[in-house]
Structure 1
Amino acid sequence: MLSDGTTEEKSSVRSASSGRAAEERQAPLRSYKLYVAGKDIEGDGWVYTVSGRSLLEDVFTSVTLKRSLEKDAESDAAQHPYVVGRCAIASDDSLALASEAAAAAAPGWAAFPLERRMRLGHRFREELERRRDEFVDMLIAEAHPAKLARWEYSSLLQIFSEESLGWYQEQMHTEFRHGNRRLIVRRQPDGVVAFNPPQNAPLPSAALGVLCLMSGNAVVMRAPRSIALSTMWLMRDVVAPILDELGAPPGTLNALCANPKQTMDRWIADPLIDDIFYIGGSQEGLRLERSCVENGKKAILELAGNDCVVVWSDADVPKAVEAITEAFYGSGQICMVPNGVLVHPAVADELLAELQEQVKRIRPGYPEEEDVLLSPVRRSERFFRLLDQALDQGGTLVTGGRRMEVDGTPSDTGVFLQPTVVRVDGLARAREFDIVREETFFPLIPVVVAEPASDEELLTRFVDFTNANPYGLRNSLWTGSDEIIDTFVRQVVNGGLLKINDSHMGCVPYLPTHGGTGLTGGAFGEANYPMLKTSHLQGVSIASGVSPYEAVFGA
């Protein structure tokens, strides 16, 4: 969004912006109906997507276009270069049809051999590799900076790597020989999984639905109404054709854009839905979990994260700070980034000085520009409330704290927020600060400097502080000491992932990318492998020449 300047200047900017957008838009408008039971069906109206760049160049025109088109889909406004796609809206009847189609397809799909269902994962990876540019462009259109879009893409390649797929298959089916018995420990699909991806990253999150399908479940995918395009593209244009290729029954995958409350209320009450895979805020997710239990359903939750980076006295400070600056990627609106730092007092000043330097490379810009890492923050009132509270409580502003324009100029009206660091002295009262205790979801990170003490006492305090976090997505540690590493590995029980001397948000084969304890994953939270979470264990014994009497009472 541009601010200041005369009306004539703003008009000139809008005209120039429209010209640039016209050059960018060469492909036809993407249009997706509801996808139910293997067919595209009509919806109850449309929601439109305008490009992420347009919302920065001319937010007034972009919002006006969306509103006019959603009132009149036949309007000539659909030809405007800012408009990149549309998705049909589901009615109650369509939601019911999707559940019925999934329930009808689930037994047939579950009967497919595991090896054949695993082929879906291999083919999905092949399609990701073939359509890399299209995947990244879809994210850029939804305002993800290009650099982050490529990280999201590479993360999915790790989730669907040959190593990871092999490990998933081992977990789904293992066999043993015991005397005259063939013993099988396997996981069976839960049935119908209703999947709710989040608004901040719907495309890569929706891709986790492929893993639910690989377990043998049928899936009903809800594309977020406010940002539906990429989810519908992935399900309809990428996943559905692979399922057809594999011979999956119609209804194995259903995808539709729908109102969140309307959909959740229906899914909770619907006896045809077995699991609800929900990605969103902790308060809403924990309420959903209670409702699911009351209605006999499994809730699979990916909620907020409030991750901590621990920096010991012997850490490689520049590299540790590289990991800490991940807190600002996407303006902190990614649950997997660090949300706080706990630093040994011996290296606190060095770390803060290095952090001030490295923050200078974190800049805003249009999403398709290289090296842009910040995203717009539309609702920033809470950011300033949290910052003011921290400073009033005795925190020290190290850097940042203001709004800025797309070119990085400080401004009282800009839609970007400066990467902001606050020093908090004292571990004992750190969680009295809301910026320490809660997930902020802003480019705002507290650096908690522990009180001086012996290393033995500090190590105990650091472990206790990490384990006491009510959230539990990821934790990370920076140290050169094998003893400190061993202590953290043995004693840190909180969280779904522990990273040591590594990128905090980076993904690797075999290990989970999501999942955690407490406010991150609910009462049943743990590291989240969607193939395993949407299935259940079953033991099988196949005997030959065994006497039942002897099996019970012995020879």
Structure 2
Amino acid sequence: MAKYKTVNPATGETVREFTTLDEAGVESALARAHSGYLEWRTVPAEERAHILGRTADLYAEREDELARMIALEMGKPVREAKGEVKLSSAIYRYYADNGPGLLEAERLDVPGADESVVYRRPIGALVGVMPWNYPYYQVARFAAPNLMLGNTVLLKHAPNCPQSALLMEEIFRQAGLPEDAYLNVFATNEQIADMIADPRVQGVSLTGSERAGTSVAETAGRNLKKVVLELGGSDVFVVLDTDDMDATVKTATRARLSNAGQACNSPKRFIVTEPNYDEFVSKLAESFKATPTGDPLDAKTVLGPLSSQSAADSLIEQIEDAVAKGATLLAGGKKVDGPGSYVEPTLLVDVTPEMRAYSEELFGPVGVVYKVATADEAVELANSSSYGLSGSVWSTDLDGAREVADRLDVGMAFVNEHGTTLPGLPFGGVKRSGVGRELGPWGMDEFVNKKLVRVSKK
């Protein structure tokens, strides 16, 4: 059976299957990516930017088609999917507009020579291993800055998103990108390890699970390859106080249930001060209960299925473990009757350290609420996680909220907003959430040779 296949998570129906590369295909991809790099790096930055600009245009022009494909393959409601397509287009547009400027040489005022200049040069072919939860956006974060630099890309997408992967490759071709500058590969994990180890590959970027990141980092380290990892998260939503609880709960619901809760930077832990706790919990539970599931291809659907039946099964196991050990279930907790991998929006309280839900990432529509007495206690609880992707602080006291946000051990902290993602903002975490940054100028700072050229007349 093919490893790569489209299975509609709303019905469980297998739609289409694809075969993986054979060994000759792996060698061909490596050879093409390397030879493609030798050509692509010589293309002027303005021309590379033009191709990325055309890519942005094509995402906008083909929005409906692209959105429906990921709704079919991984279950994202089509109206959310259109938002992902728009964001992906904006990322390509950002690097088209700003890329040439970001590549400008930096002249250093250092004595002893006539000139000292740092040039930003590409390093070669890169492997990208990308996940299913944001099929277009995750690729754009990696591909756009690196194609702008002059690197080439070997892209392994998630096995359940093969048609989305092929659409992206098709759009690059349509935009005028040379065929060997971006290659989609239906490769096995073992083949990807071999590609990373190959001397023609100079780096690897992975967005995915902690387990996958550990494996890729081990292979990259053994072969002295640069690595960027965007892994899991158990992000906090800290409510210190609010003058509009209904609006705060509405934002919390939207942030947690977007993409059926399958986002690394979704707020999975709600930490609420004692005076606000009862009202917040009550209203959040009612909001979760009032959020219906539906067909992701229906424009009215708010909450779609999880990406697969196995994902739903794993999430239910985490919920049941918590309840069996004493957690209180305030909403949901079960699969939705009928076909597909749907899970009810679920809210847990009284979660304690011996439960899996306390320390593990809950990758689905499940929220956990904790009560704290003080801001200091909120920070201590927030930082007790092994993850450190992002977090948000909600308060009418901006100075106090800013101070709490600065104390969170995360890569991204927000005050009175959560998980804002824009092309010009850096994205990435600390601790077991990964290493490196994507987007903005920082996205062009990872797989780059900052090459010093120092010239003296004699």
1:418 to 339, 344, 354: 344
* Amino acid across the alignment from 2:414: K
Give the letter for the 1:403 counterpart: K
C-alpha deviation, 1:361, in angstroms: 4.1
Aligned-partner residue type, residue 47 of structure 2: R
Q: Residue by residue, what CA displacement relative to the aligned partner does 1:180-222 show, whole Å, maximum 9, x if unpaired?
A: 8555444322211011111333333233323321121011112
Which amino acid counterpart does residue 356 of structure 2 have in structure 1?
Answer: D
Distance of 2:106 and 2:99 partners within structure 1: 15
User: In structure 2, how many angstroms separate the alpha carbons of the residues matched to 1:290 and 1:385?
Assistant: 29
Gaps of 5+ in 2: none
- Alignment CA distance shift 1:225-1:491 (3 Å): closer
Equivalent residue for 1:464? 380
Q: Which residue of structure 1 aligns with residue 91 of structure 2? A: 159
Partner of residue 167, structure 2: 233
Letter in 2 for 1:389: D
Kept after mapping to 1: 8 A contact 2:127/2:196: no
Deviation at 1:498, TM superposition (A): 1.7
Counterpart position of 2:131: 198
State the partner residue of 2:283: 354
- Tell me which amino acid in the other structure corresponds to 1:517: V
Aligned-pair distance for 1:511?
0.7
Determine if the alignment matches structure 1 residue 296 to structure 2 residue 224.
yes
Partner SS state of residue 347, structure 2: strand
Cα 1:299–1:175 shift into 2, 3 Å: closer
Write out per-residue CA displacement over residues 281-313 of structure 1, whole angstroms, 9 at most, x where no aligned residue: 102211221221111112221211211111112
Question: 1:462–1:183: structure 2 CA closer, same or farther, 3 Å change rule?
Answer: farther
Of 415, 424, 427, 1:500 maps to 415
Pairwise CA distance, 1:266: 1.5
In the alignment, the residues of structure 1 paired with residue 336 and residue 222 of structure 2 have an alpha-carbon distance, to the nearest angstrom, of 47
- Of 337, 343, 347, the match for 1:405: 337
Q: Find the counterpart in structure 2 of residue 189 from structure 1.
A: 122
Alignment CA distance shift 1:291-1:86 (3 Å): closer
Deviates more, 1:441-450 or 1:144-153: 144-153
SS of 2:199 mapped into structure 1? coil
Partners of 2:128 and 2:29 lie apart in 1 by 12
Relative to structure 1, the CA distance from residue 281 to residue 509 in structure 2 (aligned partners, 3 Å threshold; closer, same or farther) is: closer
Q: Residues of 2 paired with 1:87 and 1:240: CA distance?
A: 21
3-state SS of 1:417 partner: coil
Q: Which amino acid aligns with 1:213?
A: L
- How far the C-alpha of 1:526 sits from its partner, in A, is 4.4
Q: Alpha carbons of 1:187 and 1:469: their partners in 2 closer, same or farther (altered >3 Å)?
A: farther
Between the aligned partners of 1:279 and 1:150, the Cα distance in structure 2 is 21
How far apart, CA to CA, are the structure 2 residues paired with 1:531 and 1:485? Answer: 31
Q: Deviation at 1:315?
A: 5.6
Q: Deviations over 1:263-285 (max 9, x none)?
A: 22312331111111222210221
Structure 1 counterpart of 2:252: 324
Instruction: Pick closer, same or farther for the CA change 1:360–1:371 going to 2, 3 Å.
Output: farther
Answer yes or no: is the 8 Å Cα contact 2:323–2:329 preserved in 1: yes
SS of corresponding position for 2:263: coil
Q: Secondary structure at 2:410's aligned position in 1?
A: coil
Letter in 2 for 1:499: F
Which whole-Å deviations, capped at 9, do the CAs of 1:314-369 have from their partners, x for residues lacking one? 36422322332222223222223211111111101111122123224422111111
Of 343-352 and 432-441, more deviation after overlay is shown by 432-441
For 2:115 and 2:52, locate their aligned partners in 1 and report how far apart those are by CA, in whole Å.
28
Within the alignment, does 1:533 sit opposite 2:449 as a pair?
A: no
CA contact (8 A) 2:64 2:82 kept: no
One-letter code aligned to 2:166:
M
Query: Which structure is higher in RCO with an 8 Å CA cutoff and minimum separation 6?
Result: 2
Pairing 1:447–2:372 present: no
- Hey, what's the Cα distance between the residues in 1 that align with 2:271 and 2:68? 37
Change (3 A) 1:542 1:134: farther
Q: 1:161 and 1:315 mapped to 2: Cα distance? A: 38
Name structure 1 gaps, 5 residues minimum: 1-43, 64-82, 407-412, 453-457, 549-555
Deviation per CA, 1:25-47: give whole Å up to 9, x if none: xxxxxxxxxxxxxxxxxxx9895
Are the counterparts in 2 of residues 175 and 182 from structure 1 also a CA contact under 8 Å? no
Name the counterpart of 1:363: 292
Structure 1 residue 134, shift from structure 2 partner: 1.7
Name the CA distance, whole Å, in 2 between partners of 1:414 and 1:472: 32
Which residue identity is paired with 1:387? I
TM-score normalized by structure 1? 0.74
Change over 3 Å in CA distance of 1:150–1:45 after alignment to 2: closer
- How far apart, CA to CA, are the structure 1 residues paired with 2:102 and 2:50? 16
Partner of 2:360: 438
TM-score by length of 2: 0.88
Q: Alignment partner of 1:275: what SS? A: strand
What is aligned with 2:197?
Answer: 269
Q: Is the alpha carbon distance of 1:355 and 1:196 closer, same or farther for their aligned partners in structure 2, counting shifts above 3 Å?
A: same
Secondary structure of the 2:280 match is: helix
Residue deviations 1:199-256 (CA, integer Å, cap 9, x gap): 3333332333233211210111123333311111111x20123244xxx4x5222222
Displacement of 1:486 in angstroms is 2.7
One-letter amino acid of the structure 2 residue matched with residue 417 of structure 1: V
Describe how 1:123-162 pairs up with structure 2 within 5 A.
Answer: 123-142=54-73, 143-162=75-94
SS at match of 2:184: strand
Cα drift, residue 151 of structure 1: 2.3
For 1:19, the equivalent position in structure 2 comes to: none
**What is the deviation of 1:169?**
4.7
CA contact (8 A) 2:233 2:433 kept: yes
Distance change in 2, residues 1:186/1:476 (3 Å): farther
Distance 1:133 1:526 in 2: 30
Q: Find the aligned partners of 2:425 and 2:200 in 1 and give their Cα distance.
A: 32
> Residues 311 and 149 of structure 1: is their aligned pair in 2 closer, same or farther, counting only changes over 3 Å?
same
2:407 is matched with which residue?
491
- Residue by residue over 1:473-504, the C-alpha shift from the partner in whole angstroms, topping out at 9 and shown as x without a partner, is 22111111122233135433x323222212x2
Go from structure 1 to structure 2 and tell me whether the alpha carbon gap of 1:47 and 1:265 turns closer, same or farther (over 3 Å shift). Answer: closer
Structure 2 counterparts to residues 109-128 of structure 1, below 5 A: 109-128=40-59
